[in-house]
Structure 1
Amino acid sequence: MTTFVDRVVLHMQAGDGGHGCVSIHREKFKPFGGPDGGNGGHGGSVSLVVDPQVTTLLDFHFRPHLKADNGKGGAGSNRDGANGRDLVIKVPNGTVVQSLDGEVLADLVGVGTTFEAARGGRGGRGNASLANARRKAPGFAELGEPGDKLDVVLELKSVADVGLVGFPSAGKSSLISVISAAKPKIADYPFTTLVPNLGVVRVDNHTFTVADVPGLIPGAATGKGLGLEFLRHVERCAVLVHVVDTATLEPGRDPLADIDAIESELTQYGGLADRPRLVALNKIDVPDGKDLADIVRPDLEARGFRVFDVSSATREGLRELTYAMAQLVDEGRRAAPPAEPTRVVIRPKAVDDAGFTVEAEPDGSYTVRGGRPERWVKQTNFDNDEAVGFLADRLARLGVEEKLAKAGAQAGDLVRIGEREFDWQPTLYAGVDFVPGNRGTDVRLEDKSTRPSAADRLEARKARRRRPEDEIEGTPETAADDPDDLDDE
């Protein structure tokens, strides 16, 4: 059974917002007390947080689909719906969040580090919130906004200061078990270790972590064996230690060839050339191992390596090796740039930024892209004519129709906003000066042949004011029936 998983694909779904409520307050002797529909609750979000008690991604291997709670719908009597509960996913330290195409979205290092992967949808407003001086009793409410959907890849990269690399059965697990409190499985056959093991080492006032990276063999960087799966755990290590088996009986194996093979794999993987190296010639408690260590030490030192003869069985040479590790780790920490304080960057919008764009497509249609227009469309109930009219008013006030006209859109052209498509029927026309009346009416469509022009109406009004009072008093019925007098009232 699999006990360690360091790469999984997660399918995350944030909660949908609750729908707003359409309700009219009614009570005895007061059948129409005004709108009192409550707002819908917001959907829950999905977040990743680093937990020190979690060391593997195994849980997500069996449960890759995660969903937060939806918001509850509003109700009458101005009762708002409850917000959906957020879903907090606990991940190991060193988890890298990537999109399916390889883009890094977050690198979660440090206990408590949090990343909001999917945001919950907003709750729709009820008709009580949509009421205003002109719209006293809305017969519609907003729908809840759908929550975000996101598919991500989680990769675990061990956060360790020192990485032990070497061939299988070189003694890495034995070494980490005696210099730390880690208790890995140890046996006398290759590939005993199938998961990276972490141990904490304390030397005087220095504390650092050591990782035993298994599965490195020739061809590991190209996918052979287990090496490709675990090479990523070397990336964060500041120091690499070659653990070499000096007592191996395999033909064609010797310390120099082993180090050359491992270095070749590290070079092919890339990004590790600047890490300082140490060499631990292990198993010198075996007579043949001690002799071979004495033979190869001059060659390794000539290559620039610091060489240590060690034995996990007798613990010979381990003190010197751990002090050398602590020294290199301390030097790396001092050379690292200081952590910059978290700064809140405020990027104000440009003065002419309307928050949306209009693009002409090759097929003659037009696409409107923007956070607000797309959200408004999602929250509109298209089965309600009043709600559709409210959406049209909002888009017109935002300037969508004006930009469509400037882009060359004509009545009847296909317009896309989010996932919706419309046959555009504009209410405002570029280059025409008029004031629109109520929805469904247009002063330009009136029969102007039977209606006096504005200049004629003004002249008639001035003429009435110039007439003698006795003439006006002599014909009272005409003055009362004059529509211009009614306009003056």
Structure 2
Amino acid sequence: MSRFIDRVTIDAVAGNGGHGCSSVHREKFKPLGGPDGGNGGSGGDVVLVVDPQVHTLLDFHFRPHARAGNGRPGEGGNRSGANGEGLRLHVPDGTVVLDTDGNILADLVGEGTEFIAGKGGRGGLGNAALASRARKAPGFALLGEPGEERELVLELKSVADVGLVGFPSAGKSSLVSVLSAAKPKIADYPFTTLAPNLGVVTAGEDTFTVADVPGLIPGASQGRGLGLDFLRHLERCAVLAHVVDCATLEPGRDPISDIDALEAELAAYQPVLAEDHSLGDLASRPRIVVLNKVDIPEADELADLVEADIAERGWPVFRVSAVAQKGLSELKYALAAMVREYRRAHAEPVAKRAVIRPKPVDRAEFTIVDDPEIPGGFIVRGERPERWIRQTQFENDEAVGYLADRLNRLGVEDALVKRGAKTGAAVTIAGVTFDWEPSVPMADDVPLTGRGTDIRLERNERIGAAERKAARKLRRQRADEADGESLGWSDEDDDLDE
């Protein structure tokens, strides 16, 4: 028998984007073939999709780690890398997605509703796509972005029309078994039902679902027992039915006190999804009271005493016996009428469609704040600057120069000047700290150098080939003088060494 799991925590890891390729076309008699590095493929997404054939979160309980495929890197000959394979995870109807702080990210109701749990990283551009008037043959490519990684909490809230509420051993499971074809576990001890059972009930031309919610006790709304877990499955129910045990022998209990205790718990519990489904809190849902076990003479007499008091509250009252199957037909048609009235007032939930939200043209691309850890330093935040940092090969001077040009065009340098940044100030973007040098000329205004280099980033401590040759000659001359004899070295020999 499969286990019912209604709350799990999963790790959704989207695929990384593939790196772009830096390549130059090489062919006989074509010395200037030009760049031909292809783009990297995008990483796969992790997507949650509602499947009506799935009824529990059991699969995620045993396999909580979900990882999509990575994008392939680009290749020479303008060959782009393949996109990573996406991962589609099938979840039951009524699944709510939350982050680790308890914030609701998605409410998945309706067949086919989707939610992107992890967005795959973009593939990096190859040097063929980076060629421009200033850089006709770039000696670098962009790196692929890492995929999104998130820890998510999935909660299943049963999607049922009628929720049966009552104390343990009130006969809720027995009632579901005789109203529908469901076969829940039934026994003569409390908390027999540890997971909601759903049954489909037919009354004439109407069909509706009934949820057998595990027994509630006083203090359930504050988490006593498993109350919060049980009450969660009542959030989507349009009608609540109090199932009262009229044959209980527990001291201090009677139908009226049982109803009052449960009403207090329902009033104290606030559904987090009430605003989305316009159902209101649990205390405002339509009610119906079912006096159960009236096949027992003492229970039947007690039902006679309390029926009038319950009816004064404006709630329909039905006397039934799940064992003797007494009063079930009247109950079914009454519930069908209440569900029909609810459906008439509320549209059937449908799968949510994708909504395109264009970004405003005047939206700020980045913000600059003072660095709290580095005096005189600044932190630049923004989607585009942070993405560019992740795409840059910092061991390649030309790639770093290209990054500087992009940040300059975006207006980061001008904004730093307005903030009062001084030469050498520490500027941090996406965890990478630079020593800021203002007024760096753009690539269009500087002469081109070798592939993979940028004259604006030439370091003074870097020793060129000519300097190394002169230093080697000087060392040899000093060695000859120290030995007091000539070793026969000449300039021609040095040239051959080179």
Q: How does 1:9-408 map to 2 (within 5 A)?
A: 9-270=9-270, 271-336=281-346, 344=355, 346-351=357-362, 353-362=363-372, 363-408=375-420
Q: Deviations over 1:125-162 (max 9, x none)?
A: 11111122331211111100111111221111111111
Report the CA distance between 1:354 and its aligned residue: 4.7
Amino acid of the structure 1 residue aligned with 2:360:
K
Q: Distance in 2 between matches of 1:398 and 1:276?
A: 58
TM-score normalised by the chain length of structure 2: 0.83
Report the CA distance between 1:215 and its aligned residue: 3.0
Moved more, 249-258 or 151-160: 249-258
Report the CA distance between 1:300 and its aligned residue: 1.2
Q: Deviations over 1:159-215 (max 9, x none)?
A: 111100101111111111111121111122221111101111122222211111003
Q: Deviations over 1:318-342 (max 9, x none)?
A: 1111111111112222223687996
The DSSP-based 3-state class of the residue aligned with 1:273 is: helix
Matched-pair contact (CA < 8 Å) for 2:161–2:238:
yes
Q: Distance in 1 between matches of 2:198 and 2:349?
A: 25
State percent identity of aligned pairs. Answer: 63
Amino acid of the structure 2 residue aligned with 1:383:
E
Q: Deviations over 1:226-275 (max 9, x none)?
A: 22211110111111001111122223322112112211221221321110
Moved more, 378-387 or 356-365: 356-365
Q: Distance in 1 between matches of 2:445 and 2:133?
A: 19
TM-score normalised by the chain length of structure 1: 0.84
Q: Distance in 2 between matches of 1:209 and 1:291?
A: 31
Matched-pair contact (CA < 8 Å) for 2:110–2:349:
no
Amino acid of the structure 1 residue aligned with 2:70:
N
Moved more, 325-334 or 137-146: 325-334
Q: Deviations over 1:345-375 (max 9, x none)?
A: 6555244x45222223454321212211111
Aligned equivalent of 1:473: none
Q: Distance in 2 between matches of 1:261 and 1:404?
A: 63
Q: Distance in 2 between matches of 1:421 and 1:44?
A: 30
Match of 2:436 among 402, 406, 424: 424
Q: How does 1:440-451 map to 2 (within 5 A)?
A: 440=455
Report the CA distance between 1:113 and its aligned residue: 0.6
Distance 1:343 1:193, change over 3 A: closer
Report the CA distance between 1:32 and its aligned residue: 4.7
Distance 1:338 1:172, change over 3 A: closer
Matched-pair contact (CA < 8 Å) for 1:354–1:398:
no
Amino acid of the structure 1 residue aligned with 2:402:
F
Q: Distance in 2 between matches of 1:292 and 1:281?
A: 10
Amino acid of the structure 2 residue aligned with 1:334:
R
Moved more, 336-345 or 188-197: 336-345
Report the CA distance between 1:19 and its aligned residue: 0.5
Structure 2 residues not aligned, in runs of 5+: 271-280, 448-453, 458-498
Q: Distance in 2 between matches of 1:345 and 1:78?
A: 32
User: Is it true that 1:409 corresponds to 2:421 in the alignment?
Assistant: yes
Calculate the aligned-residue CA RMSD, in Å. 2.2
Amino acid of the structure 1 residue aligned with 2:27:
E
The DSSP-based 3-state class of the residue aligned with 1:177 is: helix
Amino acid of the structure 2 residue aligned with 1:279:
V
Matched-pair contact (CA < 8 Å) for 1:215–1:225:
no
Q: Deviations over 1:49-92 (max 9, x none)?
A: 11112111122222222111110111112111110011111111
Moved more, 362-371 or 342-351: 342-351
Amino acid of the structure 1 residue aligned with 2:413:
E
Q: Distance in 1 between matches of 2:252 and 2:139?
A: 85
Matched-pair contact (CA < 8 Å) for 1:360–1:407:
no
Distance 1:23 1:345, change over 3 A: closer
Matched-pair contact (CA < 8 Å) for 1:401–1:428:
no
Aligned equivalent of 1:463: none
Moved more, 165-174 or 331-340: 331-340
